[in-house]
Structure formats: C-alpha cells, structure tokens
Amino acid sequence: MLRVSTEEKLKKCITGACKMVLVKSIRMGDTVLVTGGTGYIGSHTVVELQQKGYEVIIIDNLSNSYENVVDSIEKITGIRPGFEQIDLCDKLSLDDFFNKHQNITSAIHFAALKAVGESVEKPLLYYYNNITGLINLLICMIKYKVNNLVFSSSCTVYGQPEILPVSEKSPVLKPLSPYGNTKQIAEEIITDTSGKSKIKGILLRYFNPIGAHSSALIGELPIGVPNNLVPFITQTAIGKRECLNVFGNDYNTPDGTCIRDYIHVVDIAKAHVIALERLLSEKNESGIEIFNLGTGKGNSVLEIINTYQKVTCNKLNYRIVPRRPGDIEKIYADTALANNVLGWKAEKTLEDMILSAWNWELSLLNN
C-alpha cells in the first residue's frame, strides 16, 4: 500500500478537504511508531503527535481496542495515521513491519495488558504478553536503529510510599500484582538495554489517567465490567451498571476513602510528545530518564463522586462496601521534575476530566 506523506495529507487538508486540522509544523522524517495506539492513552497520544506534525504509524493487536479508533483519530486531526494489526509477541510480523517502515525514528510503547485483577488470575498471560512484547520491540529497535523510546509506566511501582507527595527518587516497592510487576520489570529491561545499546528512553510513570478527548470521539472503552473508578461512575450514571461500590470508607484519610492523583488523559498524551521531543533534540541528561505524570493533587473517591454530581447535575447511585484487596490508601505525585526538567505541567481541572469522561459516555449512546 502506498503511504501518503504528511506533507501531501496537509496540502489536502489546507485545500479544504478537512476542517479540523490544527497542525502547527511539519516534522518531516520523524515517523513515530505508537504501539497500542488504538487504546485509551495511545489514541489520545496519536492525536497530539499528529497535531504537532509528526507522522504516526500505529500497531495494535486490537485485543482491547477497536480499529475504528483510527477513523475517530482521522476525524479529529484530519490525518489518517498508519495502522497495522500486529501482535508484539509475533516476532516475525514485527520484524517484517520494521523492515518495511525504515523511516521510523522513535517508538512510544503502550501496548500491554493492564487489568490488575486479571493479572492475579493469569500471571503467565501478563508476563508473557507484556514482557515478550517489550523484548521483541527492543530487539527490532536495535536491529533497525530506532533509538528513541518513550515508555508507559505507572505509579504502581511505588506501592504505598511512606512520604507524600511521591517523587521519582522514592524506592520502587514490591509490586502488589503481576501487572505491577510487569511495569517494574519493563523499566529494568529498558534501563539495562539502554546501557548496552544506543537506545535512549524516557519512562513516564502515570498516576490515574481519566477523562476523554474534548471532541468525545475517543475515550476509555473498557471491555466488560470496568475496574477503574471513573468508567464505573459514568456507566452507573448512564444505567449500564446499577450501583457504584465505593471500596472502603475507613481509611486514614479526611473522608475515609482512598486518595489518588487523577490526571486528564490529554495532559498525559501531551507529556509523551514533549518527552519524545526531548529525546529527538537530544536534551535528555542520561540514557534513561524517569518522570511522574500527575497533577500533584490528591482527591478522594467521594470527592470524585461529588465532582461528577456537581458538573453533570446528576445524582449517582453508590454505596460503601468493604475495602478492595490490594488498594493503597493514598498516593499523589511530586511533579517538580516533570514541571522543571521535562517542561510539562498538567493543565486540566478535575471538572474538565469528569465532564469529558461523561461526554464520552454520552457519545457512546449513539454508537
């Protein structure tokens, strides 16, 4: 299949074929591979990359996402990203892909399984998928001289930190689940590989990404019953679920419910573009850099529910139930390093996050 260059696509858009293009500059030659690019955070990142003028190729095995996300991305940006359905565990297909696309200069790696409970039930599935996929990706990156990697990590690596807010210097604690362990192991694999190759990496430790794109064309689409709080809230409010269970109100927090650092997915997506630019412009200070991505502010479960009720004027059906095993009491980010060194700061408010998540849930009614 002939790929149309970013420049040609832009010309088409400028002549009026597409209305919503916000592209500021053309980054010729900087083709970015986004693994897991049809997923929740991946799709938002593809939008931000394209709006900065990067050419993007997505690979995704569609195990937890849908190919029509590519259409939605095109509707938002006016540019269709490249897409190939490939499983990172399929080494031969991955090698073929890299061989075919020698214009790729960097990768942002999201593709992984991420359900904590499922990972406890099926540890080997998680280790096999998340670790094999990463290793295959790194092998191809070395072989095809793709030297820049932004990796999707998680604040789960901190466990329950003793000191809050938690900074990147805090110790990495024993993970509570195989999923969490795959994030820790992946960070180590990338760090060790970087030490012995030309690969430079930025590891981004997300706190709790929520919300959706302002267009309501892309958002979080959990398959089955959601594990995470905000999709559960919006699905309860829309009538897909009967009642939200609040897991415990006897924690040592002001209202007794757990505290997390909720951050808008678009802010997270923008951080990936900034991280990538840092690598491409060789501003990184070492082979591997690590940044927390949070707002620096903690909110309780009840505060999230109250914000939902306030911004939507809907009443939410919820009840307090016993604690969920494995939940930590409170965590929120020290964002100084991301603010001062990466030059990124979360901009969106909690109200923006919840309202965008609700608009996304509403948009699903029409699909």
Region 5-64 residues binding ligand UD1, contact defined as CB under 6 A: none
First-to-final CA distance of the chain:
30
Q: Is 180 an interacting residue with respect to ligand UD1 (CB under 6 A)?
A: yes
Residue from 57, 111, 116, 164 touching ligand UD1 (CB under 6 A): that is 116
C-beta of 72 vs 156, nearer to ligand UD1: 156
C-beta of 54 vs 126, nearer to ligand UD1: 126
Q: Is 66 an interacting residue with respect to ligand UD1 (CB under 6 A)?
A: no
Which listed range, 144-152, 194-202, 321-329, 332-340, lies at the site for ligand UD1 (CB under 6 A)? 321-329
Q: Is 350 an interacting residue with respect to ligand UD1 (CB under 6 A)?
A: no
C-beta of 79 vs 229, nearer to ligand UD1: 229
User: Which residue's CB comes closest to ligand UD1?
Assistant: 258
Q: Is 324 an interacting residue with respect to ligand UD1 (CB under 6 A)?
A: yes
Residue from 44, 109, 200, 260 touching ligand UD1 (CB under 6 A): that is 260
Task: Please state the three-class secondary structure of the chain as a single string.
Answer: CCCCCHHHHHHHHHHHHCCCCCCCCCCCCCEEEEECCCCHHHHHHHHHHHHCCCEEEEEECCCCCCCCHHHHHHHHHCCCCEEEECCCCCHHHHHHHHHHCCCEEEEEECCCCCCHHHHHHCHHHHHHHHHHHHHHHHHHHHHCCCCEEEEEEEHHHHCCCCCCCECCCCCCCCCCCHHHHHHHHHHHHHHHHHHCCCCEEEEEEECEEECCCCCCCCCCCCCCCCCCHHHHHHHHHHCCCCCEEEECCCCCCCCCCCEECEEEHHHHHHHHHHHHHHHHCCCCCCCEEEEEECCCCCEEHHHHHHHHHHHHCCCCCEEEECCCCCCCCECCECCHHHHHHHCCCCCCCHHHHHHHHHHHHHHHCCC
Which listed range, 13-21, 88-96, 197-205, 319-327, lies at the site for ligand UD1 (CB under 6 A)? 319-327
Which residue in the list 54, 126, 158, 179 is annotated as catalytic? Answer: 179
C-beta of 29 vs 326, nearer to ligand UD1: 326
Q: Is 113 an interacting residue with respect to ligand UD1 (CB under 6 A)?
A: no
C-beta of 59 vs 229, nearer to ligand UD1: 229
Region 184-213 residues binding ligand UD1, contact defined as CB under 6 A: 208
Which listed range, 27-35, 36-44, 100-108, 322-330, lies at the site for ligand UD1 (CB under 6 A)? 322-330
Q: Is residue 179 flagged as an active site residue? A: yes
- Tell the smallest beta-carbon distance from residue 152 to ligand UD1 (Å): 10
Catalytic (active-site) positions: 179
Positions that interact with ligand UD1 (CB under 6 A): 114, 116, 154, 156, 176, 180, 208, 227-229, 232, 244-247, 258, 260, 301, 324, 326-327
